[in-house]
Amino acid sequence: MTYPVIRLRPKADARAVRHGFPWVYADELVTDRRTQGLTPGTIAVLEDAERRAMGVVTINPKSKIIARMLDRDAGAVIDRDWIAARLARALTLRETLFDAPFYRLVHAEADGLPGVIIDRFGEAAVIQPNAAWAEAMIVDLSAALADVTGVTAIVKNATGRARGLEGLDEETGILAGKIDGPLPVPMNGATYLADLMGGQKTGLFYDQRPNHAFAARLAGDARVLDVFSHVGGFSLAALAGGATSALAVDGSTPALELAEGGARAMGMGDRFATRKGDAFAVMEALRGEGAQFDLVICDPPAFAPAKPALEAGLRAYERVARLAAPLVAPGGFLVLCSCSHAADLTQFRNASARGIGRGGRRSQLIHTGFAGPDHPQLPQLAESGYLKALFFRLDG
């Protein structure tokens, strides 16, 4: 197969691409009329300024990330068989790591499928095709997924900021099989209900699995507060770990209803309660009520999804810590999380520590957690290591 050829500008950092960086930005590429006329999702051969082939890439002239590396073999053919080989490699890793088929199967660039997220829920899977090439090849991607894994139901989730940056629509639907309702997902001894069609992202956040587990170790006989709870990720794990009670706070009624369903499925509905509302307002109200908890977890959405939002995001993380710290009983634990790749670990840790201090508490940092191994990082791409979880013990 003959692909069109595109070329780096002379001043572009070809060494970074050769050493594993997977993206080419628009100002690094020769964007003549021919290149600008390529259809988003077109497969092409990338050359350096000296016309030496660097690999096969996907092109999207509408995106700031104009090219994404698919294969460093310039002779590779990107077809269903190529996709299946990448999926098989990803599946081998997950089957090594997990006893049951509930995990992130594909973590985009880190699994060699740029812009593609696939979460597996037993016999069902959700694909997020967040790059134009994956949208263009969604039929091949879905068929290869079914062939490699044997899943019988496949959902395309087309929501999220990443698709907007690629100039893609937000049409979600079923690609194969059928989904009759929320699916039960066993994890860390808890049972979660994942809404694959109407839930946030793919329906469940697998990335927090090891942090849920660590929090559960702290939860024995504890009163637990789970803020920004979504479907009860931390609170249900805490109940499985022996918590005496858990209160989940979120702004979404459907998410809280799924959390309640999970608690009932575990036979722990009597120890689980929910409170709908703005997380900041609820934390202020709880303090006014004199409420205290042995374990408080705050897992907010990304306050700093990109560099322009960094300063405001760090102030928001500081505010979360300031409001949460007074709710922790003496000797109790506070867990603060960030999924903002624009805020690195040091920045997030400093903002959290300032907030705890402003909340009138002293702290020990006892553990730092990251995403689970089904969310591998591409070492050359900082964005693939976005999740941070800080576990503090509070005194006084």
> Contact, 60 vs 131, CB < 8 A?
yes
Q: How far apart are CA 320 and CA 336, in angstroms?
A: 8
> Contact, 173 vs 128, CB < 8 A?
no
Spatial neighbors of 263 by CB under 8 A, at least 6 apart, are 232, 236, 239, 246, 269, 271, 272
Q: How far apart are CA 311 and CA 146, in angstroms?
A: 43
Q: How far apart are CA 223 and CA 220, in angstroms?
A: 9
Spatial neighbors of 126 by CB under 8 A, at least 6 apart, are 118, 119, 154, 155, 156, 157, 196, 202, 203
Q: How far apart are CA 170 and CA 161, in angstroms?
A: 10
Catalytic residue among 106, 240, 339, 342: 339
Tokens found for residue 184: 């039960």
Signed CA dihedral, 372, 374, 379, 380: sign only: negative
Q: How far apart are CA 185 and CA 203, in angstroms?
A: 10
Q: How far apart are CA 246 and CA 224, in angstroms?
A: 5
Q: How far apart are CA 387 and CA 80, in angstroms?
A: 31
Q: How far is CA 37 from the centre of its chain?
A: 33
Instruction: With H, G, I as helix, E, B as strand and everything else as coil, classify residue 133.
Output: helix
298 catalytically annotated: no
> Contact, 275 vs 282, CB < 8 A?
yes
> Contact, 224 vs 245, CB < 8 A?
yes
> Contact, 17 vs 9, CB < 8 A?
no
> Contact, 65 vs 40, CB < 8 A?
no
What is the identity of the amino acid at 24? V
What is the identity of the amino acid at 21? F
- Which residues are known catalytic residues? 339
